[in-house]
Structure 1
Amino acid sequence: MKNRLISTTLAALAGVGLISSIAACGGQVATAEVGDCVVTADIPDDVTEIPTVDCGEAHDAQVVGKFDLDDGDYPGDDAVTTAAEEGCVTEFESFVGIAAADSSLQISYVYPTEQTWDQANDREVICFAISAEDATESWEGAQI
């Protein structure tokens, strides 16, 4: 089983410690679509898909963007997390409609590990907006 990593904020909110893994089975890695809403407490230690809920239901996270890192050799953990952080700030601001630094929401992300990069051709970063309180609507354009 191949594991992807999820940034500290989402993992801590999910109650699974500082680093949680997103698993890959059969060469596929867990993914979600932009706009999908998530209850972080529903994310187990190893998942083959990111469980989503209707945004009209209580949730504390939403996928605000996703993008692929450049092909080539695995650039290293520091380079991957730096690219994920920078890219997710842009994705967050585009989706929520406000600068991340001015928002009451936090940014988190799922990113490829060297194992998923090499064995599953994983280049995808998934960006999340995270709230300390549950919401029952989408944060798209919410400017919060």
Structure 2
Amino acid sequence: GPPRGRELEVARLVRQLARERIHNVVFTAADVHYAAAHYYDPTRAQFRDFEPFWEFVAGPIHAGTSAPLPMDNTFGPQVVFSKGAPPGQTLSPLAGLQFFGQLDVDSRSRTLTVQLKDASGQAIYRHTLQARRA
């Protein structure tokens, strides 16, 4: 539905980024206990006053791992990738589902490569973004 609660802050931020024509914004987060790549698309959203953007999530560093929950359509998220515990479970760090992210910028090609990795350092997801020129 429409933005409510903390979503109002996100709506103000992404609206202002669009109005100021600030491109190439990528959000990184570790506020959930799984790994994920989300693409936010205004054409699929209830709130549409923003430019598309990516969010990459990697967590926890050392805590229980949970399952991804369904996302609402306020900002039109597409779950491009997710890895976590099975639905309804929270797993100990001993289960091996601990994640971190690596972001590499290549100034020559103007790309950002994002890798989500497991605790052993193996890439479980990789995506390269091309910078958009103003």
Q: TM-score, normalised by structure 1?
A: 0.29
Higher relative contact order (Cα pairs below 8 Å, separated by 6+ residues): 1
Larger radius of gyration: 2
TM-score, structure 2 length as denominator? 0.31
Q: Which has the higher helix share?
A: 1
